[in-house]
Structure 1
Amino acid sequence: MPEFEAVIGLEVHAQLTTESKLFCSCSTKFGNDPNENVCPVCSGMPGVLPVLNAKAVEYATKMALAVDCQVNMKSIFARKNYFYPDLPMGYQISQYEEPIAEHGHIDITTKAGVKRIGITRIHMEADAGKSIHSQVENVSFIDLNRSCVPLIEIVSEPDMRSSEEAVAYLKELRSILIYLGICDGNMEEGSFRCDANVSVRPKGQEEFGTRTELKNINSFRNVQRAIEYEIQRHIDCVEDGEKIIQETRLYNVDKNVTMSMRGKEEAHDYRYFPDPDLVPLVLEQKWVDKWESELPELPKARRARLMEKFSLPDFDADLLTADRATAEYFEATVKAGADAKQASNWIMTELMRELNQENLHADQCKMTPANLAGLIALIEAGTISGKIGKQIFHDLFESGDDPEAYVKAKGLVQISDSGELDTVVDEVLAENPDETARLKAGEKKLIGFFVGQIMRKTKGQANPQMVNKLLAEKLK
Structure 2
Amino acid sequence: MSTQAATEERTVVIGLEVHVQLETDTKIFCGCSTEPEEDEEPNTRTCPTCLGLPGALPVLNEGAVEAAVKIGKAIDADIPETTTFHRKNYYYPDLPKNFQLTQYDAPICQSGELEVRVDSEPRTIGITRAHLEEDPGSLQHAGGSIETATHTLVNYNRAGTPLMEIVTEPDFRSPAETRAFLAKLEEVLEYLGVFDPTRDGSLRVDANVSLVPESEVAADGTISDDALADVNRAEVKNISSHKGAEQALAYEVTRQENVLRRGREIEQETRHWDEARGVTVSMRSKEAEKDYRYFREADLPALEVSDWKSQIPIPELPDARRERFREEYGLDRESASKLTSTKAVADFFEDVAEQFDPELAATWVADNLLGELNYREMSITDVEDRLDEFKRLIELVAADELTVKNAEEIVLREMLDAGEDPETVIEREGLGVADSGEVAAAVTAAIDDNPDAVSDYHDGDEGAINFLVGQVMQATGGSADPGEVNGLLREELDG
Q: Which residue pairs with 1:220 in the alignment? A: 242
**Candidates 284, 287, 296, aligned match of 1:262:** 284
Instruction: After superposing the two structures, state which structure 1 stretch, 44-53 or 141-150, moved more.
Output: 44-53
Aligned pair 1:113/2:121, yes or no?
yes
1:216-241 per-position Cα deviation (integer Å, ceiling 9, x unaligned): 21221121122222222223332332
Aligned pair 1:185/2:234, yes or no?
no
Deviation at 1:472, TM superposition (A): 2.1
Q: Map 1:403-414 to 2 at 5 A.
A: 403=422, 407=426, 411-414=430-433
Aligned pair 1:328/2:334, yes or no?
no
CA contact (8 A) 1:367 1:399 kept: no
**Candidates 214, 223, 234, aligned match of 1:203:** 214
CA distance in 2, matches of 1:15, 1:310: 35
CA distance in 1, matches of 2:361, 2:208: 40
CA contact (8 A) 2:127 2:168 kept: yes
CA contact (8 A) 2:453 2:465 kept: no
Instruction: After superposing the two structures, state which structure 1 stretch, 403-412 or 56-65, moved more.
Output: 403-412
Q: Which residue pairs with 2:311 in the alignment? A: 290
Deviation at 1:269, TM superposition (A): 1.7
Aligned pair 1:453/2:471, yes or no?
yes
Letter in 1 for 2:156: L
- The number of equivalent residue pairs is 468
Letter in 1 for 2:335: D
Q: Which residue pairs with 1:28 in the alignment? A: 34
Q: Map 1:418-437 to 2 at 5 A.
A: 419-437=437-455
Report the secondary structure of 1:258's partner residue. Answer: strand
Cα gap change, 1:218 to 1:279, in 2 (>3 Å): same
Instruction: After superposing the two structures, state which structure 1 stretch, 149-158 or 23-32, moved more.
Output: 23-32
Q: Which runs of 5+ in 2 are unaligned?
A: 1-6, 217-222
1:48-100 per-position Cα deviation (integer Å, ceiling 9, x unaligned): 11111121111112211221111122222111112222111111111112211
Aligned pair 1:274/2:282, yes or no?
no
CA contact (8 A) 2:411 2:425 kept: no
Report the secondary structure of 2:51's partner residue. Answer: coil
Report the secondary structure of 2:431's partner residue. Answer: coil
Q: Which residue pairs with 2:89 in the alignment? A: 81
Aligned pair 1:252/2:274, yes or no?
yes
Report the secondary structure of 1:102's partner residue. Answer: strand
Taking only the aligned residue pairs, the percentage that are identical comes to 39
Deviation at 1:147, TM superposition (A): 0.4
CA distance in 2, matches of 1:180, 1:299: 10
Cα gap change, 1:343 to 1:204, in 2 (>3 Å): farther
CA distance in 2, matches of 1:361, 1:77: 39
Report the secondary structure of 2:197's partner residue. Answer: coil
**Candidates 121, 125, 129, aligned match of 2:133:** 125
TM-score normalised by structure 2 residue count: 0.87
Deviation at 1:316, TM superposition (A): 2.2
Deviation at 1:42, TM superposition (A): 0.9
1:140-176 per-position Cα deviation (integer Å, ceiling 9, x unaligned): 3221110011111010111121222212211221122
CA distance in 2, matches of 1:286, 1:362: 35
CA distance in 1, matches of 2:33, 2:440: 68
Report the secondary structure of 2:248's partner residue. Answer: helix
Q: Which residue pairs with 2:261 in the alignment? A: 239
Cα gap change, 1:156 to 1:353, in 2 (>3 Å): same
TM-score normalised by structure 1 residue count: 0.90
CA distance in 1, matches of 2:271, 2:52: 29
CA distance in 2, matches of 1:252, 1:430: 67
1:111-130 per-position Cα deviation (integer Å, ceiling 9, x unaligned): 25212111101111110001
Instruction: After superposing the two structures, state which structure 1 stretch, 346-355 or 223-232, moved more.
Output: 346-355
Deviation at 1:320, TM superposition (A): 2.1
Cα gap change, 1:247 to 1:319, in 2 (>3 Å): farther
Cα gap change, 1:198 to 1:345, in 2 (>3 Å): farther
Report the secondary structure of 2:483's partner residue. Answer: helix
Letter in 2 for 1:276: A
Cα gap change, 1:463 to 1:282, in 2 (>3 Å): closer
